[in-house]
Structure 1
């Protein structure tokens, strides 16, 4: 197959759950012998370097630069995938059309993380019968109570896709409940075998500490436990003001993100995931549990799914509204939180080594059962059996016509 991933997220580096899972899925398809191209922005929330520094960074990560001859594009190959990285946002939709015209993809995959549905619109114009919509961040969908930018026109665009893939049951249920949109559940197999920690590492860690993800709970726990070392790993959501709040705490160390999540989790005794918005899933939760790192997670969206039935799933007051004026992305209005359940769970894990060892073992067992049950090539199998949109619509119409004819022959009893 010829596959095009058209996304409004940076491809490499990929420190967010959505773009990391997309990258690994594309690399798996390429390893299986499929021709895979990606059109994506060259820069994103995590890249503030110059173009020269950015390309040098790609080379350090093992990418092979390719001269494309197209202005405003940095071309490179990485793990068998050809990437067309667009340096100007205004060129993104045009480049989707250009690459699709040359590639003639069997399928164009478009993630939901697409403000304004710019990429989805371009993909539907370029490959109108062969778009597959990937449901990642629920807030970026054009429907539902958590939508940043609800749009009836956007819902109609999503309905034109030949198929919709949800990466969790929470995402699948959300689509069905709020848009009557059916989808296929595929858990991305993005996990590697990991040995359990020989002994607990020192830090209470939070990755992507920001308002969306529950930074106020993290800060309050650090203030309440001055004897414990905390570790913060800012990624796409952390603002300058939030970095300053982290730096003001003497017991919080701040480090940059890593392509190897194991480097961070190897320093982690307890992982905090106090998210205040509906999470689609929680890849990092499973990654931590695989290594025997206990996770304290909020009972929101797909995090309950990612916890796999292992304690602790803790209550929070969710974000109910956002402010959009003057912000690059909607800013959450953060409600007050009850720290009690979080502090009690954290103190028990910090103070009771036997409890920590027991929860670490239970976490690893549950995560191994989950990952062992995943099908690595589920997306490939799905794409090979999917029907282009017009053919699917014709098939549904023919089935309805046959049903109507059968009812007519039997007097309406069929």
Structure 2
């Protein structure tokens, strides 16, 4: 089967994020099962290659077509690539679905956050959601969606043993950066690493660096493709997000190594962490966050138990690569057009 992943936003390695990483993992799983894949996305290289000359040369192992106007390129791309089905996930979802349908391509709309639900106007042949919370949001507008959890290949994330740092990925306000700063200030004896994910403008990064400089226990790390570099130093994931998260991919990635997480109750975060961590209300006073952190960090028995639960949660059968790839293929099989 020939599958086109189509979006109006940039793609790896010019932009990072859990949803884009999931697309890459799904593409690799499909290739391993002898399907063909291609990604259509917006091009950001003109500006970024001055800062990252390597970006233009990155080979992801499958074709990626980067254009200034993905919507305008749909018909030409479909005529040349001739996909059996397209998967739409990010950016202008409604616009991309309409463009693909006008090109007579069956479409799966695969949603990764509740914020994009408002864009859904019907028209797709099938719908998928990365979590129960996103599926519930779609159900509220009378659309039934199959839950396709994030795809995690354990071999790509497993590290031998936990490190000694608290890791906070994507240090921006909506992800709870003020909670992270306050916890670092209250626990100066604990090391923190803030890891960039979404692209930060130069002035935003400079401001972030200035704030970090006031703390002696925080280091700022650039985005990386291989997250094992990060998890090898990690003892605990901190994810105090303030917005309606669909899931929390870093939680699942870390759990394959038995690394627990301290998370907010936003959206699908409790579903992502299961018993392999501690959930705190996102609007809870900072004292509750600090108490939960102390319990996980200083109570060795509790940490070991929670670490075991994290391993168990990551190893559940329905979360395996084979199970998710099989569910994805079953979902699209009846809609794809063999060309």
TM-score normalised according to structure 1 size? 0.73
Question: Aligned partners of 1:274 and 1:346: how far apart in 2?
Answer: 11
Q: Residue 139 of structure 1 is aligned with which of 115, 136, 139?
A: 115
Q: Residue 313 of structure 2 is aligned with which of 366, 369, 390?
A: 366
Q: Where do 1:276-355 residues align within 5 Å?
A: 276-317=242-283, 338-355=285-302
Contact 2:150 2:249 in 1 (8 A): no
By how many angstroms is 1:58 displaced?
A: 4.8
Q: Secondary structure at the match of 2:293?
A: helix
Q: Residue 125 of structure 1 is aligned with which of 102, 117, 126?
A: 102
The equivalent residue for 1:85 is 66
Larger gyration radius, structure 1 or structure 2: 1
Structure scoring higher RCO (CA < 8 A, sep ≥ 6) equals: 2
Question: Aligned partners of 1:116 and 1:360: how far apart in 2?
Answer: 38
Aligned: 1:168 with 2:166 = no
Change (3 A) 1:308 1:48: farther
The equivalent residue for 2:186 is 224
The equivalent residue for 1:43 is 44
Aligned: 1:181 with 2:143 = yes
Contact 1:308 1:366 in 2 (8 A): yes
The equivalent residue for 2:304 is 357
By how many angstroms is 1:169 displaced?
A: 1.1
Flag structure 1 segments of 5+ consecutive residues without an equivalent.
64-77, 144-153, 318-336, 389-414
The equivalent residue for 1:110 is 88
Change (3 A) 1:33 1:139: same
Deviations 1:305-361 (A, max 9, x none): 1012334011112xxxxxxxxxxxxxxxxxxx5112210111122222332222212
TM-score normalised according to structure 2 size? 0.88
Contact 2:49 2:56 in 1 (8 A): no
Change (3 A) 1:307 1:187: same
Q: Secondary structure at the match of 1:37?
A: strand
Change (3 A) 1:374 1:344: farther
Q: Residue 334 of structure 2 is aligned with which of 385, 395, 406?
A: 385
Q: Secondary structure at the match of 1:376?
A: helix
Question: Aligned partners of 1:243 and 1:340: how far apart in 2?
Answer: 26
Q: Secondary structure at the match of 2:333?
A: helix
By how many angstroms is 1:215 displaced?
A: 0.7
Contact 1:232 1:246 in 2 (8 A): no
The equivalent residue for 1:211 is 173
Q: What is the root-mean-square deviation of aligned Cα atoms in Å?
A: 2.4
Q: Residue 101 of structure 1 is aligned with which of 55, 63, 79?
A: 79
Question: Aligned partners of 1:48 and 1:221: how far apart in 2?
Answer: 36
Change (3 A) 1:382 1:275: same
Q: Secondary structure at the match of 2:252?
A: helix
